[in-house]
Chain A
Amino acid sequence: ETGVTQTPRHLVMGMTNKKSLKCEQHLGHNAMYWYKQSAKKPLELMFVYSLEERVENNSVPSRFSPECPNSSHLFLHLHTLQPEDSALYLCASSQYSSGGTEAFFGQGTRLTVV
């Protein structure tokens, strides 16, 4: 496999459920990101991990809990979500250095909270 892979592609969950989103990158990058994309709003950065260490938490509610066990894998654990959390959740990876490269995105998980 190549690139950035996210699973599942679609997820419907109730407000009392617990679920996890998974992201895997095969690009040898050392940084991974979670973004939330809602209609008519810019991509919102949620979390940044560099070398498996969280370096940014953009004031995200605690019902979203990230986990980065190694530089190739990133998870987003979800619990007691609200309907307004319904959105497209995108994972991305890049090289974390001043040299600067583009971020590569996964296909996203379309989350619907009912």
Chain B
Amino acid sequence: GQNIDQPTEMTATEGAIVQINCTYQTSGFNGLFWYQQHAGEAPTFLSYNVLDGLEEKGRFSSFLSRSKGYSYLLLKELQMKDSASYLCAVRDEDSGTYKYIFGTGTRLKVLA
């Protein structure tokens, strides 16, 4: 079956660093994605990993270990505007069908 787990909520301070973890189980792994979603808005793409290792994009980095079924999103120099939900998603291939499977999301609160 398919399963994606991530913490429900996290709190951090402005200027700090926060790491949001994600573990997954899927049969046809075809990439892992992180999205940011502000309340009442559409999810927006942050990062993509398909090979093991770290991908860095400005203040945001994402790591993947396929053997462990594990990823994390690292946010540096936190800003108030980073308060949002962060969704971990796996692109799964099953008999030629590609689906994006999402976790419940981690609601991040950034405090002044």
Chain A residues packing against B (C-beta within 8 Å): 4, 31, 33, 35, 40-43, 45, 48, 50, 55-56, 90, 92, 94, 96-98, 100-108, 110
Contact = CB atoms under 8 A, between A and B. Distances in A.
A102 B99 contact: no
Interface string B69-112: 00000000000000000010101010011111111110000000
Nearest to B34: A102
B33 interface: yes
Contacts, number: 61
Contacts of A40: 104
Given A90-B42, A102-B33, A102-B45, A55 B97 contact: yes
Interface residues of B, number: 27
Interface of B: 4, 30-31, 33, 35, 40-45, 48, 50, 87, 89, 91, 93, 96-105
